[in-house]
Chain A
């Protein structure tokens, strides 16, 4: 037992010291917990290194020990992974829904769903007309008859087709996850790509569009290695239709914050 208390004591002291250092350096609490946990794991490792050998087991005793060990392993794996921060799939579902919207509609399944929706709509219209006819037949006006549901669709369609180009542009920025590499409005970016707050001053909308469609067409100053490696994926012309790409370029073109040092694009 002396071995256990001694090693555990050392583990706690080392862990405490690590937490103190991490705290003084303003490391987030989660990292302080990480360092403390590693110190405790260290204590357990050193307890095991100097522990007395376990006596050999056989028969039911060994079966019980193995079963208990398996239960421990399974519990630790499932519970351990659940303790870490969890990505919320709902965030992604909405994005993927938008990205695949057109393809889903074009698929046979999508077309079938659209036909079913139309049939339902027509069915509702027929029912509404029947109600009105019944009302006319009995000499009563059916004031409560539901308005034709067709009115909903033009409104939605108008919103989709003639909607704000800026809104579409910003949506594409989110959907294509440009923020993973580019910083904009102080958000996103990991220095993989240039900060874009002043891109509207340096490039025209057409040039931005050209850069998105063909990433090799321009090189940001100071990003020679990234340009040579082709870090910016050459896939956006296949993922966005021309209207979406134009919307993204137009939206980016509005960013003219000269206080941000967006590197100068060089034509290639």
Chain B
């Protein structure tokens, strides 16, 4: 109950600040802030608190989706491990729920101190959202979250369905919160506009719905939904790694080994969708104002995207390396084979996709006419081709293809800070410049996704045919889980910074200028330093929360798990 009251107290603080901001403070004289945050400056101070808040919020909105899927899987498969995983992550989520409220309150305070005039007018624009909708939904989420945790042991057995339904209801409220708060967030990037009317004139007559349903609202929400699921999964994987390292018994090791495996595969589900929803978001933003596109990909932020390419490449390598380590501990994995069509498609997919994308750029349906049959052929036609290859060989071929795709994914037009003044000697020569275009990037990411899907199919096949020795995974896998959680958090921070920097020298793009001296694009080095620091602080807090929530229960569990070690995998 202490946590509940803490969360509610923080909520009341946020609410009062919003109300105060929209009333008294609104009467302030215009001008920049008289407050100057020491060392960081105002913009970075807001950045730190905002990013921390968003990371916590992403976890508490993503984890319930992850948790309900896990609980439902446990109910369907009658496997108690899924239920334990779901309950443990819910306990961590409840602690982090308070952190979300606290950082949310802090965010408003810092924003008001740093940019009083803008914050006031912004809250005024979305008064209904900040003062009514968001607090109401947050209270509903709080009640449902605690009800979900405290009814866990009451609603079991025949009542389990009722508990899962409560989890689904909690998720619906979480999704509503995400959609509601993404209104003001996306509004700052793409405020609604109309042909032939100035943005200011249009804003004078725009309704709240016009402002919320702006051009990047829905794609941003989609991108954040699958991003949050993946994020929740990767963090759960890291928690599993720490608990595995701290486990004292074989049973505990077996359970946390399994938890890492289950978490990562739910995270992979979200990760596979992310590049596509991310592209949709970028597409909509460029469609809103084409100057966003060169600013992101070719000009000031081009090296931010280069870094994103490196990190996403490493993330995919990490995911697939984890699955390789998982396969290695399955007895009988060496006997698993797959049709020769799989490695053939792996090898030809990247060049074929690059050719198709060059000729029939999306959304041309002809691109799908080529690519769908090609990618589905190993799964649909494989049974008719007698020649097979061992799973391990296919996975290794997949790694080579992944490395080539990574190289294409991160090949820029030139290694320069801004594309606008790129000297010819730094550019990719003609004939090679295709590697730096969007069709090539999309082909690379499609190939990365396809390799991961093939590995997933192989992994499942290996699990069905072999025997998993839970708790016997290579210890290196625990470091991979930590690496994946950190990389995923870091990429979120980087792309969050990119989205925010896209507003250029505006608070709200083309509507409200940022008149402070800090309205410029920071260097990648400076940004990377802060993103790393924020990621480390966030992960440290999550680790402490996990240890507080899970260590007592882990030490109590001494009796053997229902699933013996080793077990025949099902």
Contact = CB atoms under 8 A, between A and B. Distances in A.
Nearest to B320: A45
A110 B407 CA distance: 49
Contacts of A82: 524-525, 528
A38 interface: yes
Given A74-B532, A99-B505, A177-B420, A93 B475 contact: no
A84 B524 CA distance: 8
B524 A109 contact: no
A27 B415 contact: no
Contact of B310 (A58, A69, A80): A80
Contacts of A110: 515
Interface string B329-347: 0000000000000000000
Contacts of B317: 45
Interface of A: 25-28, 30-31, 34-35, 38, 41-42, 45-46, 48-49, 51, 53-58, 62, 65-66, 69-70, 73-74, 77-78, 80-82, 84-89, 91-93, 96, 99-100, 103-104, 107-110, 112, 177, 179-181, 187-188, 190, 192, 229-235, 237-239
A150 B148 CA distance: 73
Interface string B271-299: 00000000000000001011100110011
B400 A42 contact: yes
Interface residues of B, number: 77
A258 B299 CA distance: 30
Contacts of B400: 42
B532 A26 contact: no
B298 A180 contact: yes
B307 A45 contact: no
A85 B415 contact: yes
A188 B524 CA distance: 23
B243 to A, nearest CB: 12
Contacts of A104: 515
B536 interface: yes
B29 interface: yes
A144 B175 CA distance: 75
Given A45-B399, A57-B245, A81-B528, A87 B417 contact: yes
A238 B432 CA distance: 39
Q: Which 5 A-B pairs have CB atoms at the shortest separation, nearest pair first?
A: A81-B528, A109-B31, A30-B415, A53-B474, A87-B417
A247 B441 CA distance: 40
Contacts of A46: 396, 399
B399 A107 contact: no
B519 A100 contact: yes
Interface string B294-309: 1100111001001100
Contacts of A108: 29-31
B416 interface: yes
A26 B396 CA distance: 31
A54 B289 contact: no
B505 A234 contact: no
A81 B416 CA distance: 13
B529 interface: yes
Contact of A34 (B410, B427, B429, B432): B410
B429 A25 contact: yes
B29 A96 contact: no
A130 to B, nearest CB: 33
A54 B289 CA distance: 51
Interface in B505-540: 505, 510, 513, 515, 519-525, 527-529, 531-532, 536
